[in-house]
Structure 1
Amino acid sequence: MTPAQAVPDTILTATLDLSRARIATPAPNLTGLTRPELAAALVEHGVVEPAKAKMRASQLWRWMHHFGHTDFERMTDIDKDTRTRLAATFSLARPEVVERQVSKDGTRKWLIRTAPGIEIETVYIPDVGRAGALCVSSQVGCTLNCTFCHTGTQALVRNLTAAEIVAQVQVAKDDLEEWPVPKEGRRLSNVVFMGMGEPLYNLDAVSKAMHIVSDNEGISLSRRRITVSTSGVVPELQALGEKTQAMLAISLHATNDELRDELVPLNRKYNIETLMAGIRAYPGLSNARRVTFEYVMLKGVNDSPAEAKALVRLLKGIPAKINLIPFNPWPGSPYECSSWSTIEAFAAILNRAGYASPIRTPRGRDILAACGQLRSESEKVRASVRRKAAVEAEA
């Protein structure tokens, strides 16, 4: 008998029991909840009894949004047992800052990862508004495909949540070391929804985030210092004004439908006549609450004296100011910026007609943080890697 015959074949089998397997889910983050939602969440998760929910929510709110704390243990007016339950149930964590860049002019840009594959850019611009403005994103990518805008070259991934919008303000305040929220001398005084995405396609989350950051016991930004910029989603203008009382900015860039159809393709759906009618009906429109019209200056495209005069005619009767934006180039862009003398001549025509028309000083161009240059790096090689490769190539 051979050894092979002496030892019978043995088949090893095993069964993997997945019945008890559980996929770990992250703890709910409280920073994107309104006050009523916060109180309800405390009760729903059994952390606080209903009678104390409103009080505990107010305490948490101040610790989160006034002091900027992310550690429940630092909330010293809440008893230890409740702090332990909070820490076991919820999170106050900030999203990951993947990259931080500082321009030679002091502009700061953060690449923020809020979830796997979800990256957004947020920019702080000093000496804008009362003290400094934060340009926040409302979507990852964009659907509008405006031909002069770098963000428009990135496909829409998804809308941001209210928590992800609020987190951009929190990240900026962390970096600026502006906790607790000061009563005076703030460096972050204004918020502008002019980052990635079209805010009116995510109005519910934008509105909710504005409620949170404008609350007087938290970050307490005045709603008159919060501006929402839209390319012209006309059906949502009324709701924007009623829900948020935000200052309105319109990404205009052309005075006739033929050119605006090219620059801002949304115009094919809501043309200039429709847009102007929606603006005239915007809630609260007055000389004290003027609409800002954004007009990017493109060489040989929309920068002639005739275009300036057409703009004056178009805006007749609307309380308005006009921001003239020198075009900020980006890799592969098909346009050039108008000359400074051309922009000044354009502005002079608007000024003579009675419109304030400041020429926006380009900020953060050297870090691609200027208007129209934002684009997340989630679908590209990281910017830092590219810069390193460029330096090595030049060496």
Structure 2
Amino acid sequence: MKFLEKIELNSLTLGELEKFMISLSEKSYRAKQLFTYIHKNYGTNIQDISVFSIALRDKLEDCSRINQIEILKRFNSKIDNTKKYLFILEDNNIIESVVMEYKHGLTACISTQVGCKMGCSFCASTKEGFIRNLSPSEMVNQIYNMEKDLKKKISNIVLMGSGEPLDNYENTLKFLNIIHHKSGHNISYRNISLSTCGIVPKIYELADEGIPITLSISLHSPFDDVRKKIMPIGNKYTISEIIQACKYYYNQTNRRITIEYTLIEGVNDRNKDLEELIYVLNELNCHINLIPLNPIEEYNQQRPSGRYVERFKIGLEKTRIPVTIRREMGSDIGASCGQLRRSYTKDRDRNTFQ
């Protein structure tokens, strides 16, 4: 059997593993043993599963495999304890993840795709286009590799790295199922956040899944005409449609929505932007996360001054909308979404063709 045709064991949920084991004429309880070996004990080698007979190990190796990714490089911030990882996948594509240290523990920001097709003008992740979706195993392996490297457990996960999680919907759902399961890593759904640019039908689908994760919406403007210019998804779904989907999500999950709002000087930080944002969010149970723009060379705009950011925050607080200014982490290592991978691949390609 060819390598790529083999079943990827660490991309299967426990229920799928049970069906797989039964298809091999094995007892279903073997699936839980295998699931725990991979997702609780960081197992990567089928031949090392000592609770299985040699015959079963050989049978599994013949038709299945455990996908692995490798740490290509780790960057350590000198400002705080942020760690940025570049991972190389089995097909030599590169993705990135970040681990940030807070008082409550470690938070990992992971990627869900190689590249991104959403085309947001201020985001480095999308500048080289979309390459492919990540499998569930490639998502969980980001967590496992960082934990093994740091010798610490990650307590919170943010799906906010490269890619749009709802554009990789089925694999993202399986990742959530796997990482949450009590027989594996057992991370609470309430410690997981998913960030989307606003794929409205998928927000409704996610709400109906009954998974109480935090939904974060990348809004970035309260005006449809402005949002269309900086976020192409705005040409497909209006702000009103997104807000209605968010209300549905809240009603289904009882989870407050997070609104991500990147402040761009002269684009969405004006008084009229503030007033319209207050109006748009008036009836939504939400928390606003203000993010001063992290400039990239392909987007010729600037972040507002600290004074303007604070003014915007105070304006929101006056209407009793909960708001915070995102603390910038790992700024000396390009820890924002997509920056490090893009820099690395550009340098690699430049050296290749010299």
The alignment's TM-score, normalised by the length of structure 1, stands at 0.81
> Percent of aligned pairs with the same residue?
32
Once the 2 structures are TM-superposed, how far is the Cα of residue 248 of structure 1 from its aligned partner? 0.6
Q: What secondary structure is seen at the aligned counterpart in 1 of 2:35?
A: helix
Of stretches 358-367 and 275-284 in structure 1, the one that deviates more from structure 2 is 275-284
Contact 2:97-2:109 within 8 A present in 1 as well = yes
Once the 2 structures are TM-superposed, how far is the Cα of residue 43 of structure 1 from its aligned partner? 3.9
Q: What secondary structure is seen at the aligned counterpart in 2 of 1:363?
A: coil
| Aligned pairs for 1:331-370 within 5 A | 331-370=297-336
Higher helix share: 2
Of stretches 222-231 and 374-383 in structure 1, the one that deviates more from structure 2 is 374-383
Instruction: Give per-residue Cα distances to partners, 1:327-382, cap 9 Å, x unaligned.
Output: 11223331111111111111111112112211111112222212463645685333
Partner of 1:242: 208
**Match of residue 380, structure 1, among 326, 329, 346:** 346
Of stretches 159-168 and 223-232 in structure 1, the one that deviates more from structure 2 is 159-168
Partner of 2:83: 108
- AA matched with 1:328: N
Contact 1:141-1:375 within 8 A present in 2 as well = no
Once the 2 structures are TM-superposed, how far is the Cα of residue 210 of structure 1 from its aligned partner? 0.4
Partner of 1:308: 274
- CA gap of 1:195–1:302, structure 2 versus 1, over 3 A, is same
**Match of residue 221, structure 2, among 250, 254, 257:** 254
- AA matched with 1:362: E
- CA gap of 1:198–1:191, structure 2 versus 1, over 3 A, is same
Contact 2:10-2:137 within 8 A present in 1 as well = yes
Once the 2 structures are TM-superposed, how far is the Cα of residue 77 of structure 1 from its aligned partner? 3.5
- CA gap of 1:23–1:193, structure 2 versus 1, over 3 A, is closer
Partner of 2:241: 274
The alignment's TM-score, normalised by the length of structure 2, stands at 0.90
Please tell me whether Structure 1 or Structure 2 has the larger radius of gyration of its CA atoms.
1
Partner of 2:93: 118
- AA matched with 2:87: I
Aligned-partner Cα distance in 1 for 2:263–2:338: 12
Q: What secondary structure is seen at the aligned counterpart in 2 of 1:236?
A: helix
Once the 2 structures are TM-superposed, how far is the Cα of residue 164 of structure 1 from its aligned partner? 1.6
- AA matched with 1:71: N
Aligned-partner Cα distance in 2 for 1:296–1:71: 43
- CA gap of 1:157–1:223, structure 2 versus 1, over 3 A, is same
Once the 2 structures are TM-superposed, how far is the Cα of residue 27 of structure 1 from its aligned partner? 4.8
Instruction: Give per-residue Cα distances to partners, 1:229-270, cap 9 Å, x unaligned.
Output: 111111111111222432110000101112111111111111
Segments of 5+ residues of structure 2 without an aligned counterpart are none
User: What is the RMSD computed on CA atoms of the aligned residues?
Assistant: 2.6
Q: What secondary structure is seen at the aligned counterpart in 1 of 2:332?
A: helix
- AA matched with 1:199: P
Q: What secondary structure is seen at the aligned counterpart in 1 of 2:130?
A: coil
- CA gap of 1:384–1:95, structure 2 versus 1, over 3 A, is farther
- CA gap of 1:297–1:362, structure 2 versus 1, over 3 A, is same
Higher strand share: 2
- CA gap of 1:97–1:377, structure 2 versus 1, over 3 A, is farther
**Match of residue 116, structure 2, among 130, 142, 165:** 142
